[in-house]
A and B are shown apart, each in its own frame.
Chain A
């Protein structure tokens, strides 16, 4: 079963507008972490924002905020005041612990965001 689901393969947003990228997750753990990464066309993976499962406040980093709804198991990324440089692939990921005690980040399939001038 998919641990991370991103249902929007592609999104368009007008420059200077806000956009929400959806992410739902599946885990039975009480302790987990949620991450968002950006992958521009150049290919590198850039960390954007992190939310811990016990964090009561939604995480914010500059123009990025994470709308964390624990009961609904969703961790949507909100980008305010979109810029042309925000055009990229965005990945949601969840940290989970293997039975062996190891850790892994499980990634969703990504959402391609295009900012329109």
Chain B
């Protein structure tokens, strides 16, 4: 019962390099999310996918792209990494949109990215 799996757990990039963070969930959830966590700022939403085939921008989408590959997988791509993108990235999923009720986010373990 893996839940939400993110890879890689750690990555060091040079400015201008590109990379993709992978996320997969095995809970048959419809909605998936990418957050970043920075010291003193809590978690902020980068992109989300309410259902397979749809993606939308969150609070801080600049510099990122996403792909909802299928119901299970949601990837986050940095096309040209910048030091400001040094952060811990969390993928999360929920059964449905965060509408009424306790539609809870289940998080992955996080990916620590450093851009030099």
Write the residues of chain A forming the contact surface with B, with a CB cutoff of 8 angstroms: 4, 31, 33, 35, 37, 42-45, 47, 50, 52, 91, 93, 95, 100, 102-105, 107-110
For the complex, what is the distance from the CA of A104 to the CA of B59, rounded to whole Å? 9
Helix, strand, loop or mixed for chain A's interface?
strand
Q: How far is the CB of B44 from chain A (nearest CB, A)?
A: 7
Given A100-B56, A103-B99, A104-B59: A44 and B105 interface contact (C-beta under 8 Å): no
11 contacts between A and B (CB under 8 A): A33-B98, A43-B109, A44-B107, A45-B110, A47-B105, A52-B102, A104-B48, A105-B43, A107-B42, A107-B44, A109-B41
Given A35-B104, A47-B105: A103 and B43 interface contact (C-beta under 8 Å): no
The chain A residue sitting closest to B107, CB to CB, is: A45
When distances are taken between beta carbons in the complex, the residues of chain A under 8 Å from B88 are 43
Contact across chains for A105 and B100 when beta carbons are under 8 A apart: no
B101 CB within 8 Å of chain A: yes
Contact across chains for A107 and B102 when beta carbons are under 8 A apart: no
Q: How far is the CB of A36 from chain B (nearest CB, A)?
A: 11
Contact across chains for B109 and A44 when beta carbons are under 8 A apart: yes
For the complex, what is the distance from the CA of A54 to the CA of B64, rounded to whole Å? 36
When distances are taken between beta carbons in the complex, the residues of chain A under 8 Å from B58 are 104
Contact across chains for A102 and B99 when beta carbons are under 8 A apart: no
Q: How far is the CB of B54 from chain A (nearest CB, A)?
A: 10
Q: How far is the CB of A51 from chain B (nearest CB, A)?
A: 9
Q: Most B CB atoms within 10 A — which of A37, A47, A102, A109?
A: A102
Q: How far is the CB of A68 from chain B (nearest CB, A)?
A: 14
For the complex, what is the distance from the CA of A84 to the CA of B76, rounded to whole Å? 36
When distances are taken between beta carbons in the complex, the residues of chain B under 8 Å from A105 are 43, 45, 98, 105
When distances are taken between beta carbons in the complex, the residues of chain B under 8 Å from A110 are 42
